[in-house]
Amino acid sequence: MNFSVLQFPASNCDQDAVHAIRLLGHSAQLVWHKDASLGDTDAVIVPGGFSYGDYLRCGAIARFSPVMQAVKQFADNGGLVLGICNGFQVLTEAGLLPGALIRNRDLQFHCENIFLKTATSDSPFTSKIPVGKILRVPIAHGEGCYFADEETLAKLKANNQILWQYCDASGNLTDTANPNGALQNIAGICNEKRNVAGLMPHPERACEPLLGSDDGKWIFESIFAALKNKTVAAAA
Amino acid sequence: MKAKIIITPKKAVLDPQGKTVQSALEHMGYTGVTGVHIGKYIEIDLAPGTDKAAAQKALNDAAHKLLSNPVIEDYKLEIE
């Protein structure tokens, strides 16, 4: 499978995402923010960082870059798009995902390992995560507090769009396990069509034991499996 | 000509900066403060002779699309 990893000015997890995908046996290419085309690609990663210096609001400027118009079209056609950290912020700003990410409730930048509970296996981003497995992955953000109005939140719940929630080591969704004050401990969600997802934690930084955890690979393995199914379906 | 845009967090949105400043003010002895909301102020210079109604329309559009995020923020636009 071939992944396109976007590169904005001040993206800084683009190389990590490329590394993780190659490590897991697939290919990845970087796509510059001024490119109007994604080229030949099976899935898109919008990586972490501080695109355009986080000026105005995180992700606010990046969403208007030429490459994002291509991503929008790719997503509209059912393509798989995963936004990580700043990438999640970009996708909410672009309206590809509902809600917004605001300043952490304690005003601090959090750089630490957290625990994630997968709320549903019914998505191309979670299907291969072993049932009941609590993922240990790092976060590194100052604006990761997920917010959505009540109506949107109710819709997210009704449609099973909440994919990951912050929890403690045993999987309890406690307030102390919530690093940023996100509503309902939300760490990641998907859109209604389930082909676009975003999360604040960094699975690409946790794909090999050398880095302390390889739990992040389950998210990528889910995407690989979804793409494989799609290819098989298309060939049949 | 100048356009002034004031962006504030929506009431339902957590505003930890506002809360922190409010408690600092209380700590300093300023009484009667019932709320602090921290937003942004944007000043936009417009070419002389710009049609005010057209500018109003264009800037409302820009404020909605880029300058503010309607999910979490409200804005007020003034042209003078």
Distance from CA of A90 to the nearest CA of B (A): 12
Question: Cβ of B6: how many Cβ atoms within 10 Å?
Answer: 14
The pLDDT value given to residue A236: 67
What is the predicted ipTM?
0.87
Identity of the residue in A106, A147, A181 whose CB atom sits nearest the CB atom of B72: A147
pLDDT classification of A232: cutoffs 50, 70, 90: confident
pLDDT of residue A60: 95
From the options 1.10.10.10, 3.30.43.10, 3.40.50.450, 3.30.1280.10, give the CATH code of B2-79: 3.30.1280.10
Mutation target for A interface from B15, B71, B73: give the one with most A CBs within 10 A.
Answer: B71
- % pLDDT > 70, chain A: 100
Domain spans of chain B, in order of start: 2-79
User: Active site includes A26?
Assistant: no
pLDDT at position A230 is: 85
DSSP, collapsed to helix, strand or coil, labels residue A199 as strand
Domains of chain A from N-terminus onward: 2-235 (3.40.50.880)
Residue A168 CA: distances (Å) to CA of A93, A105, A142, A173, A184? 29, 18, 20, 7, 14
In this prediction, residue B26 carries a pLDDT of: 96
Of B32, B29, B37, B35, residue with least CA distance to B13: B37
| Per-residue model confidence as pLDDT tens digits over A63-110 | 999 999 999 999 999 999 999 999 999 999 999 999 999 999 999 999
Instruction: Report the DSSP beta bridge partners of residue A167.
Output: A115
Q: Residue A91: its pLDDT value, please?
A: 98
Nearest to A48 by CA among A89, A104, A2: A89
Nearest Cβ partner of B71 from A56, A99, A145? Answer: A99
User: Which residue out of A85, A145, A167, A190 is catalytically annotated?
Assistant: A85
- Alpha carbon distance A166, A173 (integer Å): 6
For residue A36, give how far its alpha carbon lies from the nearest alpha carbon of chain B (Å). Answer: 20
- A209–chain B nearest CA distance, Å: 36
A85 noted as active-site residue: yes
Q: In chain A, which residues have their Cβ closer than 8 Å to the Cβ of B71?
A: 92, 99-100, 147-149
pTM: 0.94
